[in-house]
Amino acid sequence: MGERAFRYSGAMLHVLGKILEMAAMLTLGVALFVYGFGEGNMNAELGWLLAGGVLFLIGYALERRAGPGS
């Protein structure tokens, strides 16, 4: 397997980044709603918020890496 096996097109990176961003926004919303109103476990809420934030940043970085016009 060469270097070409691991390359993705700019459009594919853009779509993957958008999917990760949307998944992160849903994760953040669910975490805020479930743990904010339903449960009193602050550590679990912060863990889900951290996971959603990291997921969003990964998606944002992938989207930016795709570049404009890709």
27-66, pLDDT tens digit by residue?
998 888 888 777 777 888 888 899 999 999 999 998 888 7
Provide the H-helix boundaries in 1-70.
Answer: 10-33, 42-66
Q: Rounded distance, CA 59 to CA 48, Å?
A: 16
Under 8 Å between Cβ of 49 and 31: yes
Does 2 score more than 60 pLDDT?
Answer: no
Q: Rounded distance, CA 59 to CA 1, Å?
A: 26
- Position 70 scores a pLDDT of 52
pTM over 0.85: no
